[in-house]
């Protein structure tokens, strides 16, 4: 696919390449096309702080229970199908045959490889103390990308206005094209929405636990587990104290909400 960098690429993707899953517009094209769009946008489009969310079943269910959060996701420029269940609904129920699962880990790695050697820089925003700095080294060693121009570790509380101003100044001074936010859903999406009002970059992408995955603090599921749709189960077994309650709620509610939507559409 030949990309025209002058054509408002993200706006086109939003308008013509999304399929709603539980009312949230999900990107329904392959990762390779998205990577082309991101590189071309960074090279030829104005800095308008476009928002990208990696949205799995957890985010989709939370959006059903929190109308304000659903509104935030609908205002994002792109929501990517991070989980296998969302992909199955989009691809097999909604007939979005070109849709692919775009895992946060794969998305981050793909962008880092696609921008390695290019004049496109990155800012890492999130993780526990020291994780972002370790990720700088991992990006250089694993992806050949040494264009990380800044890092920031968030406090475990809302930011003060002075802290927002300081962060915005640091991102602006870094010259970053893409800001990566790893704080967990829904905190990271709300954070990104506020940050977008304060900085002018090309993209702000929310990617959950990806920082920890790429520095080796969280083990990634084997590929066959990812493809089976049971990655959530694998992660739950690794961190049962934190995730058992979440997935005990998310999995049945995701099925219930989609069944309800299917039945409502048939009645119409």
pLDDT at 5: 39
146 in a structural domain: yes
| Confidence label for 56 from pLDDT (cuts 50, 70 and 90) | very high
How confident is the model over 57-94, as pLDDT tens digits?
999 999 999 999 999 999 999 999 998 999 999 999 99
Mean pLDDT computed over every residue of the chain: 90
What value does the mean pLDDT take over residues 220-232? Answer: 79
1 part of a folded domain: no
pLDDT greater at residue 252 or residue 234: 252
Residue 65's domain spans which residues? 9-267
Does residue 174 or residue 222 have the better pLDDT? 174
CB 151 within 8 A of CB 223: no
C-beta of residue 80 within 8 angstroms of C-beta of residue 52: yes
Number of domains in the chain: 1
Question: Are the CB atoms for 206 and 181 separated by under 8 Å?
Answer: yes
- Is residue 3 assigned to a domain? no
Confidence category of residue 15, pLDDT binned at 50, 70, 90: low
End-to-end CA distance of the chain: 38
pLDDT tens track for 121-171: 999 998 888 999 999 999 999 999 999 999 999 888 899 999 999 999 999
Residue 248 exposure: Cα atoms within 13 Å on the Cβ side: 7
Residue 187 has pLDDT above 60, yes or no: yes
Q: Does the residue 2 lie in any domain?
A: no
Question: What pLDDT is recorded for position 3?
Answer: 38
* pLDDT of 203 over the 80 cut: yes
**Separation of alpha carbons 210 and 196, rounded Å:** 21
In a domain, 125, yes or no: yes
Q: Is the pLDDT of residue 9 over 70?
A: no
Domain contains 120: yes
Once rounded to an integer, what is the mean pLDDT over residues 31-46?
A: 95
- 4 assigned to some structural domain: no
- Residue 185 located in a structural domain: yes
Confidence band (pLDDT; 50, 70, 90) for 96? Answer: very high
């Amino acid at each position: 696919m030949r990309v025209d960098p002058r054509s408002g690429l993200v706006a086109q993707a939003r308008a013509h390449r999304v399929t709603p899953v539980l009312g949230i517009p999900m990107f329904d094209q392959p990762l390779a096309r998205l990577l082309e769009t991101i590189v071309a946008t960074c090279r030829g489009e104005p800095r308008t702080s476009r928002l990208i969310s990696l949205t799995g079943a957890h985010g989709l269910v939370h959006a059903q229970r929190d109308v304000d959060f659903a509104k935030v996701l609908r205002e994002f420029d792109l929501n990517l199908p991070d989980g296998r269940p969302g992909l199955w609904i989009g691809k097999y129920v909604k007939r979005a045959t070109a849709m692919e699962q775009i895992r946060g880990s794969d998305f981050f790695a793909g962008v880092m490889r696609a921008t390695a050697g290019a004049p496109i820089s990155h800012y890492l925003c999130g993780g526990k103390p020291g994780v972002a700095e370790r990720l700088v080294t991992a990006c250089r060693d694993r992806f050949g990308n040494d264009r990380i121009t800044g890092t920031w570790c968030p406090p475990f509380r809302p930011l003060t206005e002075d802290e927002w101003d300081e962060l915005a100044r640091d991102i602006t001074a870094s010259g970053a094209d893409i800001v990566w936010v790893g704080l967990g859903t829904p905190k990271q999406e709300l954070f990104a929405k506020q940050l977008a009002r304060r900085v002018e970059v090309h993209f702000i992408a929310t990617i959950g636990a990806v920082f920890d995955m790429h520095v080796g603090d969280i083990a990634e599921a084997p590929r066959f587990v990812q493809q089976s749709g049971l990655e959530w189960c694998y992660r739950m077994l690794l961190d049962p104290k934190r995730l058992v309650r979440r997935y005990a709620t998310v999995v049945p509610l995701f099925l219930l909400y989609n069944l309800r939507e299917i039945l409502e559409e048939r009645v119409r």
